[in-house]
Chains A and B, each alone.
Chain A
Amino acid sequence: MNDEFESILDECISALQAGIPIKEILAEVPDYADQLRPMLYAAAVLADPNPVLVPTERKTALRAEYMKQVATLPQKTPTWQDKGQAIYHILRKRLTYQIVLSDLITVTITAILTLTMATLILTFIAKDSLPGDTLYSLKRMAETGQLLIPLSETYRRGLEESFNQRRLNEIEQLSQQNRAAMVEFSGVLERKGDKLWIIEGYPVVLPDDVTIQGQPQEGDTVHVIGLLRTNHTLVADTIRN
């Protein structure tokens, strides 16, 4: 009851300060009118509509004295402690759960998008690279990635054949440019000599330290890793079937 009356009184005082006549205010709260009336008349006297001010001349003089004192204040350059406190206040305002979560999501999405875009751009640039080029490993990684995507066996084999054809084309291009590089490809072992095998039409020299895995026979498909020399000779490093 008391709290309710105090609230009503405060609302009436605010109404009075807003210029509403006492009679109108009391008419809104008839149950409390008798109790409120003397208080509102007292409040009406208090609510001076023309507040007093210091005469301008005096105020100017007081201000001048104040500014004279202000001028004596030493210049204050922020200390490391001040800077630290300022950073702390900024961080404290920033480090709310929602803001941190929102920042984290934004940073993650931005990082993923940036990485994806960068990979796509570099893969596009690397698509014509040859063994020995800087971006060649990226080209091979992109191919490996494609093979990792779970697709049908037929599609996967098609991709493997397509990639192997690229390897053979790369050897052709390297030969045309007289470049030496480590190459690899898969192909049919067409003829098996002592030191020279013909694999997918390419003569492959077998040095003494060559590694041969399995027992490849003519007609088998073998995978060759070797060095293509500038004289177009392909020296095998590893052959496996």
Chain B
Amino acid sequence: MSNEATLLERIQRHDQVALAEVYDLYFDQIYRYIYFRLHEPEAAADLAAEVFLALVTALKSDKPPRTSLTGWLYTVARNLAADHIKHKSRTVPLLDEIIADEPSLSEQTQWVHLMPLLTNALHQLTDDQQQVIALRFGQGLSLVETAEVLNKSIGAVKALQHRAVAMLARLMPEVEHE
């Protein structure tokens, strides 16, 4: 039996040590996943904590994760992040405005300086595309792992990844690559 399966079985029995292990094992992952989608550290931390509290609530109401603990945690995280994005009142600045605010690209020596641009560009992707990008890049999950978490075929994830990266590349300003 895999570690996750054992952990799942233990948390279904309300094993408190197992529940602590779940938190220690998955909190950073879930936080990074949400952070990647929101780029709001505070909100991401709150939502990550909510994911684990939701696990306790699910156990209390006798509706624990049945098959995949990772899948369950990511699904809750995805839903919470989606709700947050939907309900937050702030206005996302237009990409053009962001680009205008940025220092000229020729002055940039590190690709990471483009992150704020890309972060906002991410919001223009479809929800599925954002999921794939968050898991593949935010979590560093493999294609197979991403497909498992999203409950999609590998082919579908590959296609989503292609479309998402292509879209982001189009949204990126012209960069002198050398």
Q: How far is the CB of A199 from chain B (nearest CB, A)?
A: 75
Closest to A7 in B: B158
In the complex with contacts A3-B158, A41-B177, A62-B56 CB distance below 8 A: no
Closest chain-A Cβ to B142's Cβ sits at a distance in Å of: 7
A24 within 8 A of B: no
Q: In whole Å, how far is B18's beta carbon from the nearest beta carbon of chain A?
A: 10
Cα A39 to Cα B118 in complex, Å, equals: 12
Q: Are A65 and B49 in contact (CB under 8 A)?
A: yes
Is there an interface contact between B27 and A42, defined as CB atoms closer than 8 Å? no
Q: In the complex the two chains form, is B137's CB within 8 Å of A46's CB?
A: yes
Check if A62 sits within 8 Å of B165, measured CB to CB: no
Interface residue tally on B, bucketed by range: 35 or more
CB proximity to B under 8 Å, residues A14-59? 14, 17, 22, 37-39, 41-48, 51-54, 58-59
Given contacts A54-B48, A66-B56, A76-B13, whether A47 and B137 have CB atoms under 8 Å apart is yes
Complex-state Cα separation, A13 to B140, whole angstroms: 10
Residue A145 is within 8 A (CB to CB) of chain B in the complex: no
Interface contact A6-B56, CB-CB below 8 Å: no
**Chain B residues touching A, majority SS:** helix
A73 close to B14 (CB less than 8 A): yes
Task: Given A52-B41, A53-B31, check contact A38 B158 (CB 8 Å).
Answer: no
Using known A-B contacts A43-B137, A45-B111, A48-B112, determine if residue A54 contacts B56 with beta carbons closer than 8 Å: no
Known A43-B137, A58-B45: A69·B53 in contact at CB below 8 Å:
yes
**Interface residue? A177 (CB, 8 A):** no
Residues of B within 8 A of A42 (CB): 118, 165, 168-169, 172
Q: Is residue B136 contacting chain A, with contact meaning CB distance below 8 A?
A: yes
Query: Quick check: B166 and A66 within 8 Å, CB to CB?
Result: no
Q: Which one, A46, A54, A70, contacts B20 given CB within 8 A?
A: A70
A71 at the A/B interface (Cβ < 8 Å)?
A: yes
* Chain A nearest Cβ from B31, distance in angstroms: 5
Please tell me if B16 contacts chain A, counting CB pairs below 8 Å. yes
A69, B56: Cβ atoms under 8 Å?
A: yes
Question: What CA separation (Å) do A109 and B61 show in the bound complex?
Answer: 51
Residues of chain B with a CB closer than 8 A to A62's CB: 27, 45, 48-49
Asked whether any CB of chain A lies closer than 8 Å to the CB of B128, the reply is: no
Within 8 A of A (CB), among B14-59: 14, 16, 19-20, 23-24, 27-28, 31-32, 35, 41, 44-45, 48-49, 52-53, 56, 59
Give the CA-CA distance A74 to B14 in the complex, in Å. Answer: 7
Task: Please provide the chain B residues from 104 to 160 with a CB less than 8 Å away from any CB of chain A in the complex.
Answer: 111-112, 114-115, 118, 133, 136-138, 140, 142-143, 155, 158-159
Nearest first, the 8 closest Cβ-Cβ pairs linking A and B are A38-B169, A46-B137, A6-B158, A42-B168, A62-B49, A76-B14, A42-B169, A39-B165
List 26 A-B pairs, Cβ < 8 Å. Answer: A3-B158, A6-B159, A6-B161, A9-B161, A9-B162, A10-B143, A10-B158, A10-B161, A41-B111, A41-B175, A43-B165, A46-B118, A46-B133, A53-B31, A54-B31, A59-B27, A62-B45, A62-B49, A63-B27, A66-B23, A67-B23, A72-B60, A74-B14, A74-B60, A76-B12, A78-B13
A-to-B contact residues, CB < 8 Å: 2-3, 5-7, 9-10, 13-14, 17, 22, 37-39, 41-48, 51-54, 58-59, 62-63, 65-67, 69-76, 78, 82
Given A43-B137, A46-B137, A66-B52, 20 more pairs with CB closer than 8 A: A6-B159, A13-B161, A17-B137, A38-B169, A38-B170, A39-B166, A41-B111, A42-B118, A42-B172, A45-B172, A46-B118, A53-B31, A54-B45, A54-B48, A59-B27, A66-B53, A67-B20, A70-B19, A72-B60, A73-B60
Footprint of A on B, CB under 8 Å? 12-14, 16, 19-20, 23-24, 27-28, 31-32, 35, 41, 44-45, 48-49, 52-53, 56, 59-60, 111-112, 114-115, 118, 133, 136-138, 140, 142-143, 155, 158-159, 161-162, 165-166, 168-170, 172, 175, 177
